[in-house]
Amino acid sequence: MVKTVRMLAVVAYPVLSDDDREWIAGVRSRHDPLASRIPAHVTLVFPTEVVEEPLLAHVRSALELFESIPIVLRRAVAFRDAIGSGCYVFLLVDEGHAELLAVHDTLYGGVLTTHRHRDLPFVPHVTVGAHPDLAECERIASQVNEERRIVPAPINRVDVIEVGESMVRTVAEIPLGRGSDRPPNPAVRRTGGSPCSPLGR
């Protein structure tokens, strides 16, 4: 039996208050080209060509080791793309940073071991802007920081998504820990085949 290889990623959609969700959506609508295509998210596994079933089994097993993570977003920074061209504006994870590093490290075991770029440090974040010019990203980050927002953004599950040249599709929603009854963020509009350029951030 031929096993189909797909371009898959693992993202977490944080649970946001209505006010915080609207604020982040407003920033992204002005500065992030992907704002209308995928909700605000933390990427835990970057798009990788793998077989779907072994990846899903691995992610489910890995996430049993973790409980809900109460992350907080406090500060925006400009980042230059470490692999491709372009620059980004990240809302950095403050509280919950170490926990997300541990989730990231665990996910990049098993079937993903050979796909990890150990030369690139993982920076937990939510992308809110993108621009070819670093100076423009720095301007956007400064503007965001002027608002002095503190955004609680707990994560209680992740989504495995398929990423194509013209679409992003949710493959599975997987809870952290063994509590499969944990509610998802009811306001998250998950992907279902929306047009999207490949996620690399």
Distances from the Cα of 65 to the Cαs of 53, 61, 107, 132, 178, in angstroms? 20, 8, 11, 39, 8
Distances from the Cα of 178 to the Cαs of 15, 66, 135, 201, in angstroms? 19, 9, 44, 28
What tens digit of pLDDT does each residue of 3-32 get? 788 999 999 999 999 999 999 999 999 999
Distances from the Cα of 74 to the Cαs of 55, 144, 162, in angstroms? 32, 10, 29
Q: What is the 3-state secondary structure (H, E, C) of the chain?
A: CCCCEEEEEEEECCCCCHHHHHHHHHHHHHHCCCCCCCCCCEEEEEEEEEEHHHHHHHHHHHHCCCCCECCEEEEEEEEECCCCCCEEEEEEECCCHHHHHHHHHHHCCHHHHHHCCCCCCCCCEEEEEEECCHHHHHHHHHHHHCCCCCEECCECEEEEEEECCCCEEEEEEEECCCCCCCCCCCCCCCCEEECCCCCCC
Round the average pLDDT of the chain to a whole number and report it: 88
**Predicted local distance difference test score (pLDDT) of residue 194:** 37
What tens digit of pLDDT does each residue of 158-177 get? 999 998 877 789 999 999 99
Low-confidence ranges of the chain (pLDDT < 50): 186, 192-198
Q: Spell out the domain ranges in the chain.
A: 5-194
pTM over 0.85: yes
Please give the CATH superfamily to which domain 5-194 belongs: Cyclic phosphodiesterase (3.90.1140.10)
